[in-house]
Structure 1
């Protein structure tokens, strides 16, 4: 289906690109923390523990930040449904950038003792609040500016920021891994955090140029702004939130297992060199970027539901083969594992923005999709690296992690399968209303 270059399409394209760049910066900040948790934080901030326990504690700080996401989502959802999407995008980007920069300046345990991990946890919590509010605004700006028949494609642009950020963050750490180990551990790991300041400046310039969402403008013009949108959405739309949470947890958990946990698993348990793992994820992130656009385009033709079902089902049935390939221990086998994982993750992740947006009315949409996504990513998703590490330590095997990943993916599969909503092609969707 060719995209007609109407004024609406041109605006949609500019907004989608700006949202992509902004979320790329936010995800970059988030991923460098996750990668550092797997590579260095266990040594620098929790040095008195054995490697496995130190890694679990390091991932626990990652989880604490994720646990704060629902708070950020609710705060920004409230104001995003009252004063607008754009203002929240600017605030969250600035907050995320400042906190990430400060993490790069933190003294370590050897320098200030127990205060080091305490400060790390505090900054991680603030980072989680900012990140929790970011997603809903970026998604809505892209989806609500898009033509009706292209919401899947344009809505996927904020998610394309994720693999680009993964590529940038992993690529940065891959280059820094060439440093002597002592240099990397003393100052090299700080560079990705400090570089985020430059990226934030670029993102701020772009976001300040955006127009407010047309759907929210209609809410303002019709005076349908509600006094307490978060209360409204939980009181009258809790079923949609539940569906959204169950759909979102599949790709979120899969991503954390197959791109973050796998770093520590491959290095500590399989004995694969750090640069091999990072290069494999680097290649996988490039594959994910292509797949996200392809699946989003396909969803505008055949509908969100079949694409999402494929993604969740594929992840479930390939959970075990994924770890078999990683256990192969070569660059080829690990790369094949990560690329295979990206097929399932990308399919459901590509349609998630348009899928969740369709569940809620515009006057509570920011609150609704933020609650769905941040509850999924905060309560369960953010704890996944720590859960996976604990499961592996308990069984000394990847099998429990495989089962965990498959079960979560099946929850998403059946949530999509059983949800009463439109998951059909746009031509047919025009003949039906959203349930």
Structure 2
């Protein structure tokens, strides 16, 4: 008579009670879903950013002073950041209450529809002041969607993954911005090359926004096929879903929230400088062509697609906060070198400067997703991550292009721009110092408890 040991019971998340990692195929599928979804949403966000720098000043904010038109266009760019906290509050809360997957589908639809409508929006010459008002409202909707997207995308990939490789898997969401930026600027560059200046200003720029409809359908197809994350299933099984997650984050985890917010400031500002404002600086101050400036950003963004996951993987092997902090120090120094040597006669110097800045950004941005998620307990992770991401945007990326434009106009010098970036790097180092290292045992214990409850229910 043979006796056989009982098979290990699977928790509701799909892992056995003694496992810390799911099947590799599930982790890869979640990584791809997070990567593609955020890339599509950041395409929508980035195509607006590039258009704000290149055409929106003339089309929606006509003025005899080009600097004023650009400033107003960047103000609508900032609206996309100002509205993010609303998305973080609404969708972050829902992500901890109803689950990651359903929220991520909603954010993708919201951003896609808003971007599609921007492509159909009449200009100031056609409908007057209604044009910039409509632009601001649609940009607001984009920001709300992005505010709820990031935290969920990070958790989608990291909560399916080996808990000791969270830096690499969480970086899937971080590849979205450079991938979306690459795609957006690539489309705009192709349209600029194929069309005359008049054609591009008249209708060519709209094509980049209208493409969003096709991209959203593809993204939805991928996300609908996914299951809920193992961590959220375990939270459901243990009946530990929070009733008031926003309040709980502010009351029980204020240090974690402060650390996560400050850690994001320098990466946001550095990215705004070298993917958005650099287009204005290169064309307006250095006298370079729009195609030259765009190509420099495209090359830097392409390299980031590789560098960001490598940086995330590096942070799994080396202390995550150390990698992040050293990169923040480099971010404080690089702008001084860039502005001192770049001039309008050398496209190569411009490109090397942009590539160097985006490489430094990658070393911060790759570990960032895991660092922020690790600051919060599993039951408050979506809310905490979303609040940190969106509130940091208010003091980082939202005001950066506007301040860059205003500082350059007031002082006619690059020095205040470099000093501004250095100050934000100091804030980020403070945030990293306030933060904590990751603790994989939190997720392991949660899933173990869920597995034990499930086993007891099956036995009963």
TM-score when normalising by structure 2: 0.89
Q: Residues 43-82 of structure 1, C-alpha deviation per residue, up to 9 Å, x if partnerless?
A: 0001124111110000000101210001101100111110
CA gap of 1:16–1:325, structure 2 versus 1, over 3 A, is farther
Match among 299, 307, 311 for residue 283 of structure 1:
299
* Cα distance, 1:326 vs structure 2: 3.5
* Cα distance, 1:325 vs structure 2: 4.0
**1:290 and 1:74 mapped to 2: Cα distance?**
32
8 A Cα contact 2:299 2:355, kept in partner: yes
* Cα distance, 1:328 vs structure 2: 4.7
* Cα distance, 1:415 vs structure 2: 2.2
- Does 2:394 correspond to 1:355? no
Query: Which residue is 1:321 aligned to?
Result: 337
Secondary structure of the corresponding residue to residue 211 of structure 2: helix
TM-score when normalising by structure 1: 0.94
Query: Which residue is 1:105 aligned to?
Result: 120
Match among 328, 335, 339 for residue 312 of structure 1:
328
* Cα distance, 1:324 vs structure 2: 2.8
Match among 279, 288, 308 for residue 292 of structure 1:
308
Match among 8, 12, 28 for residue 43 of structure 2:
28
**1:145 and 1:324 mapped to 2: Cα distance?**
45
**2:401 and 2:23 mapped to 1: Cα distance?**
41
Match among 135, 145, 168 for residue 150 of structure 2:
135
- Does 2:219 correspond to 1:203? yes
* Cα distance, 1:287 vs structure 2: 1.2
8 A Cα contact 1:244 1:356, kept in partner: yes
Question: What are the within-5 Å matches in structure 2 for residues 83-162 of structure 1?
Answer: 83-162=98-177
Match among 40, 46, 56 for residue 71 of structure 2:
56
Match among 204, 211, 230 for residue 188 of structure 1:
204
Unaligned runs of 5+ in 2: 1-20, 445-460
Query: Which residue is 1:339 aligned to?
Result: 355
Unaligned runs of 5+ in 1: 1-5, 431-435
8 A Cα contact 2:115 2:209, kept in partner: yes
Aligned length: 421
- Does 2:30 correspond to 1:15? yes
8 A Cα contact 1:266 1:326, kept in partner: no
**1:280 and 1:25 mapped to 2: Cα distance?**
22
Match among 367, 379, 384 for residue 368 of structure 1:
384
* Cα distance, 1:423 vs structure 2: 6.5
**1:420 and 1:113 mapped to 2: Cα distance?**
49
- 4+ residue runs of structure 1 moved beyond 3 angstroms? none
Secondary structure of the corresponding residue to residue 271 of structure 1: coil
Match among 391, 396, 401 for residue 385 of structure 1:
401
CA gap of 1:32–1:420, structure 2 versus 1, over 3 A, is closer
- Does 2:240 correspond to 1:221? no
Secondary structure of the corresponding residue to residue 145 of structure 1: coil
* Cα distance, 1:380 vs structure 2: 3.0
Q: Which of the two has higher C-alpha Rg?
A: 2
- Does 2:412 correspond to 1:396? yes
8 A Cα contact 2:255 2:434, kept in partner: no
8 A Cα contact 1:156 1:351, kept in partner: yes
**1:49 and 1:311 mapped to 2: Cα distance?**
42
- Does 2:422 correspond to 1:406? yes
Secondary structure of the corresponding residue to residue 414 of structure 1: helix
**1:347 and 1:36 mapped to 2: Cα distance?**
27
How much is the aligned-residue C-alpha RMSD, in angstroms? 1.5
CA gap of 1:386–1:8, structure 2 versus 1, over 3 A, is same
* Cα distance, 1:373 vs structure 2: 0.8
8 A Cα contact 2:165 2:316, kept in partner: yes
CA gap of 1:71–1:317, structure 2 versus 1, over 3 A, is same
**2:62 and 2:93 mapped to 1: Cα distance?**
41
**1:365 and 1:145 mapped to 2: Cα distance?**
14
8 A Cα contact 2:375 2:435, kept in partner: no
8 A Cα contact 1:42 1:58, kept in partner: yes
**1:49 and 1:313 mapped to 2: Cα distance?**
41
**2:102 and 2:338 mapped to 1: Cα distance?**
41
CA gap of 1:275–1:325, structure 2 versus 1, over 3 A, is farther
**2:293 and 2:144 mapped to 1: Cα distance?**
30
Secondary structure of the corresponding residue to residue 121 of structure 2: coil
Q: Residues 138-186 of structure 1, C-alpha deviation per residue, up to 9 Å, x if partnerless?
A: 0111111110121111110111122111111111111111211000000
* Cα distance, 1:257 vs structure 2: 1.1
Secondary structure of the corresponding residue to residue 81 of structure 1: helix
**1:221 and 1:316 mapped to 2: Cα distance?**
46
8 A Cα contact 1:45 1:109, kept in partner: yes
